[in-house]
Amino acid sequence: MIKRILVAAMLATSLGATVVPADAAIYLREAPPAPRQEVMPPARRGYVWVPGHWDARGNRYRWVKGNWVRARHGFHYTAPNWVERDGRWYREGGSWMRGDRDGDGIPNGADNNPNNPRRR
């Protein structure tokens, strides 16, 4: 009898601990609200500002405030955004992309001075 209780408890615990990965596909039928206006704090050396964005919890949108993340040399950050596909809205998560030679957080294609030697 004790073995059955332990097995049932382990099974219940393992099912309750199921975690949805951060990059799991999230689809909603309604478009996200317009982005909120945020004031970006003064720049921090070695960090990149991640702007606030709408995330989804269940079937509702919730605002995630902007924050600073540690910069990754040679990469630029692409913020999360929502894309419409077949009448449903899909969230593309934020990610780090290669292509920032001077480490200023601006992709080389959009950077007016992509090889600035004074950046670092």
List the chain domain ranges.
24-110
Q: What is the pLDDT of residue 98?
A: 83
Strands 88-92 and 67-70: unpaired
Q: What is the pLDDT of residue 3?
A: 61
Q: What is the pLDDT of residue 16?
A: 38
Q: What is the pLDDT of residue 18?
A: 32
Q: What is the 3-state secondary structure (H, E, C) of the chain?
A: CHHHHHHHHHHHHHHHCCCCCCCCCCEECCCCCCCCCCCCCCCCCCEEEECCEEEEECCEEEEECCEEEECCCEEEEECCEEEEECCEEEEECCEEEEEECCCCCCCHHHCCCCCCCCCC
Q: What is the pLDDT of residue 120?
A: 47
Q: What is the pLDDT of residue 103?
A: 61
- Per-10-residue mean pLDDT of the chain, 120 residues long, equals 56 40 67 91 89 89 93 85 90 82 65 60
Q: What is the pLDDT of residue 14?
A: 42
List, as own/partner pairs, every contact residues 12-17 make where C-beta atoms lie below 8 angstroms and the sequence separation is at least 24, other chains included.
none
Q: What is the pLDDT of residue 68?
A: 93
Q: What is the pLDDT of residue 2?
A: 63
Q: How many angstroms separate the Cα of 86 from the Cα of each of 13, 27, 38, 54, 89?
A: 37, 11, 31, 20, 8
pTM metric for this prediction: 0.58
